[in-house]
A and B are shown apart, each in its own frame.
Chain A
Amino acid sequence: AQSVTQLDSHVSVSEGTPVLLRCNYSSSYSPSLFWYVQHPNKGLQLLLKYTSAATLVKGINGFEAEFKKSETSFHLTKPSAHMSDAAEYFCVVSYMEYGNKLVFGAGTILRVKS
Chain B
Amino acid sequence: SQTIHQWPATLVQPVGSPLSLECTVEGTSNPNLYWYRQAAGRGLQLLFYSVGIGQISSEVPQNLSASRPQDRQFILSSKKLLLSDSGFYLCAGLRATNTGELFFGEGSRLTVL
Contact = CB atoms under 8 A, between A and B. Distances in A.
Contact of A106 (B6, B43, B98): B43
Contacts, number: 51
Nearest to B41: A9
B105 interface: yes
A32 B105 contact: no
A25 interface: no
A64 to B, nearest CB: 17
Contacts of A83: none
Interface residues of A, number: 21
Given A43-B90, A90-B44, A104-B43, A34 B104 contact: no
A106 B90 CA distance: 15
Interface of B is mostly: strand
Contacts of B101: 32, 34, 46, 49, 94
A105 B43 contact: yes
A12 interface: no
B107 interface: yes
B100 interface: yes
Contacts of B99: 32, 49, 51, 94
A102 B101 CA distance: 9
A61 interface: no
A84 B70 CA distance: 38
Nearest to B44: A104
A87 interface: no
9 contacts: A32-B99, A34-B101, A41-B107, A51-B99, A90-B43, A90-B44, A92-B102, A104-B44, A107-B44
Interface of A: 32, 34, 36, 41-46, 49, 51, 90, 92, 94, 96, 100, 102, 104-107
Name the 10 nearest CB pairs between A and B, nearest first: A94-B100, A43-B104, A106-B43, A44-B104, A51-B99, A32-B100, A43-B106, A32-B99, A104-B44, A100-B100
